A = this chain, B = another copy of it.
Amino acid sequence: MELAITQPADFHVHLRQEALCELVTPHVLKGGFSTAYVMPNLKPPITSTRQALAYKATLEKIEPNVKFLMTLYLSPELTPDEIRKAKKAGIIGVKSYPRGVTTNSDGGIESYEAYYPVFEAMQDVDMVLNLHGEVPSDATNNIHILNAEPSFLPHLHKLHKTFPRLRIVLEHATTRAAVEAIKACGDTVACTITVHHLALTVDDWAGQSWNYCKPVAKYPDDRKALREVIKEGHPRFFLGSDSAPHPPHQKSNSTPSCGCAAGIYTSPILLPLTAHILESFDALDKLEGYVSTFGRAFYQQPADGSKIRLKQMVNGVSVPEDGYSLRDETVVPFWAGKRINWIISE
């Protein structure tokens, strides 16, 4: 069996810096994607048009055959003037990270009200607001990593109500509550779903730090809700891989004092893996909408008309357990050591 898919676009990817960036950026294309919506959580974060354009030039030098869509990191430095400047420079969106929730988000936001002038400008010029939709853990109020996303949803509703024309994307949704919240919003609000959240539940990252990411994979019923909305072919739910490379020593727990970075890396196997996972819950017929047309429509990024082809493999192909290396950098992908039933055939 073969599939022909309109050029896919990954609407949420982390491409990092320096040697790690050189290693992982070509993996976007290797994984079947020629459009990448690039997250701004670098060190220091991308908070200006100037930085974003410099980063884009770096990425294009590493991989000229991918279209990089750039974002800014929401921070107090960001002004309405900078938003207008960014729009003119072709920057697509602004990413908001709640403080301390994920990699390099220490400078993230605490209250949205302070950013209302920025959001007003974004709404005017039609830029996209990308939300990492989790509140920080707070044991006193019983907020923890499993209810951090549902606890964020009132903020989403308030933003949507205040800025009804602002295009908002709730990133990497993981819960039934989030799916229902997005459905209840108007057409300006969409949602990315990662492929790993279509595969995992809490049982899979318990005692397995390589499956640990933020937001964490939730309960089986939440995964069911994510799968259902993909099977439904709802056009406001599409792929953002949240592919997030970390060196192996940051993903393993060699000692009790050696914590683990949150993040699952899928870029180099993304399209075949997505076909494999969608097939596992009988949603292969929704692949094109999920990985390509729905996201492209929301982001107003039409495809060039060309297709990418996938071929089914009887016994599958193995994902390398040792991962991929360049100089001193190594990344080991999700699904390492397991088999995928699809390959990119052209």
Contact = CB atoms under 8 A, between A and B. Distances in A.
Interface residues of A, number: 43
A337 interface: yes
Interface string A210-234: 1110001001110110000000000
Contacts of A47: none
A212 B219 contact: no
Interface in A135-183: 137, 139-140, 142-147
Given A137-B203, A207-B261, A252-B253, 8 more contacts: A142-B221, A144-B202, A207-B253, A207-B260, A210-B255, A210-B256, A252-B254, A253-B253
11 contacts: A139-B201, A139-B220, A139-B223, A146-B146, A146-B219, A208-B209, A210-B255, A251-B256, A256-B321, A256-B336, A256-B337
B144 A201 contact: yes
Number of copies: 2
A259 interface: yes
A163 to B, nearest CB: 32
Grouping DSSP codes into helix (H, G, I), strand (E, B) and loop, the A interface class, with mixed when no group exceeds half, is loop
A73 interface: no
B252 A255 contact: yes
Contacts of A321: 255-257
A256 B256 CA distance: 18
A291 to B, nearest CB: 23
Contacts of A221: 142
A56 to B, nearest CB: 31
A224 B254 CA distance: 30
A203 B145 contact: yes
A207 B139 contact: no
B255 A332 contact: yes
A184 interface: no
A334 B256 CA distance: 8
Contacts of A140: 220
